[in-house]
Amino acid sequence: MSDRLRVRVRRPVAGPDPGAAAAPGTLGWVVAVCAAFVVAQLVLAVPGSGLGWDETVYTSQVSAHVPAAFFSAPRARGISLLAAPVAALTASTAALRVYLAVLSGAGLLVALRVWRPLLPARMLALAGGLFAGLWISLLYGSQVMPNLWSAYGGLAAVGCLLRAARDRTDRGALAGLAAGVALVGLMRPPDALWLVLPLAGAALTIRRWRRPALFAVLAAGLLAGCAEWVVEAYVRYGGLAARLHRASAIEGGLGLHFAVDDQIRALDGRTLCRPCDVPWRHRAASAWWFALPLLAAGGAAAAWRGRRATVWLPLLTAAFLAAPYLFTVGYAAPRFLLPAYALLAIPVAECLWWAAVRATGRPRRAVTAVVVVALCGHLAIQGSVLLTAVHGNRRARGEYDAVAAGLRANGVRPPCVLSGDSAVPAAFYAGCASRETAGADRSITADGLLAVARHRPVAVLVAPGDRPPAFARHWRSAALPGYRAYFAR
């Protein structure tokens, strides 16, 4: 960063801004991209899908139809609050999915709208399409998971900071900056810290940006977003340090881990790769991942001088948001990098636009054709991977529905309690509470579970080949799809 990174927009002497010359003044293209994002989810991802393990935990916190599952130290309650308006009213997974799909399209529109004073509308539409076209974005847009919303908050926060730095009278940008950081804090508190660091660093390094208001707003947004998580740390865990230590233990011990290769192997449709010791087979599905940093760097290098900071800052912030998941976590989940992908879409769009459009605003036909063909091939691969991931989700839903039916056939009905292997999602599908006597979700002792069994149905699920816990070995058992269940009575 240096003082030469200008944020004041001026027309270059050599000619007009190629992006602005070709872009309409309205957000019609952006709206169309966001609408297509919603429609694609409703057609490809929503039908027949069920709630995954983490989703059942988040949804159960606000559902009026199932008991709340154990809420472990790494989790934050922001996504539960977002799902609450529908989850509190109905147990319908389809209704929750449709609500979140529509909301995710609106969220993308708001996050991109922030950038309109900084970038041409058509370039923003291209950036939005690049992000929305990823199978990860399409899959998680309708899911009760926090990462997409962390991405929106980060994208909006960076845009608002750039606007506030350019125009000191833009109070809306200051409010948007605080709201963006707060949203990230509500969803993923560690992400909020990694977001604020490069933004504060840029504001401190660039002389024209050094304003007390920017630092105050960043601090206020961080505090507002993370306050509930910090307070809960003292109420439930004995302090912030204790919660962070517990969260690290649940994540497998945060430290120096090289997870870049894990993230690459997970791009074939895996929602979680832990441990990620699978072979790298579907290489075409990860080709875009290798092109991403090159295109982003190309966009930053090619950016017209008047908006150089507008392209460099998203690239820098994306690096900060991606670093902890690439180098400190010992496993991979593609959703972890959604905030980085949302920000990298800006410089990548800049790169593609620069390659395809002349300074006069006229397209380079041959280059444009190559870009369009490449993007169509990319979207086709992303769609194929999405269908693989959705198929896995639907299969898991069928398995949990079958387990729930087997439990009901054996007399396990609400109010009931499940423990053991996959008890958390199985309990949600069966309408039971989940209580574990060991592991990361430990919330009850064996004696406590036996006491509960005296006045309500209790079952322990055991995976094939495993032995039941000692206290359940003499209980009645029955085979369920994928498990053996032991019943207290």
**Cα gap 329→325, rounded to integer Å:** 5
| 77/359: higher pLDDT | 77
Q: What is the 3-state secondary structure (H, E, C) of 271-337?
A: CCECCCCCCCCCHHHHHHHHHHHHHHHHHHHHCCHHHHHHHHHHHHHHHHHHHHHHHCCCCECHHHH
Question: Mean pLDDT across the stretch 277-285?
Answer: 89
- What's the distance, CA 226 to chain centroid? 17
Does 5 have pLDDT greater than 80? no
Q: What's residue 12's pLDDT?
A: 38
Tell me 351's DSSP state.
H
* Cα 138 to Cα 40: distance, rounded to the nearest angstrom: 7
**What pLDDT, in 10s, does the model give residues 392-410?**
999 999 999 999 999 999 9
Question: Please, which pLDDT band fits residue 252 given cuts at 50, 70 and 90?
Answer: confident
Residue % of the chain over a pLDDT of 90:
87
- Lookup: tokens for 52: 């995954």
User: For the chain, what percent of residues have pLDDT higher than 70?
Assistant: 94
pLDDT at 359: 65
For residue 286, pLDDT over 70 is answered with: yes
Q: How confident is the model at residue 360 (pLDDT cuts 50, 70, 90)?
A: low
CA distance 347 to 71: 37
The predicted pLDDT at position 260 comes to: 96
Burial of residue 305 (CB within 10 Å: 0-12, 13-18, 19+) is exposed
**Residue among 69, 46, 45 at smallest CA distance from 56:** 69
**Segments in 88-170 forming alpha helices (H):** 93-113, 121-132, 135-140, 147-166
The pLDDT value recorded for residue 26 is 79
Tell me: pLDDT of 371 over 90.
yes
In angstroms, the CA 110 to CA 116 distance is 10
Quote the pLDDT of residue 6: 40
Distance CA 129, CA 263 (A): 22
- So what's the pLDDT on residue 489? 78
DSSP-derived secondary structure letter, 69: P
- pLDDT tens, residue by residue, 61-74: 999 999 999 999 99
Average pLDDT value for residue range 209-228: 97
pLDDT band at residue 304 under the 50/70/90 scheme:
confident
Task: Give the distance, in angstroms, between the CA of residue 164 and the centroid of all CA atoms in the same chain.
Answer: 26
Q: Is the pLDDT of residue 382 over 50?
A: yes
Give the confidence band of 119 by pLDDT, cuts at 50, 70, 90: very high
Q: What is the largest CA-CA distance in the chain?
A: 85
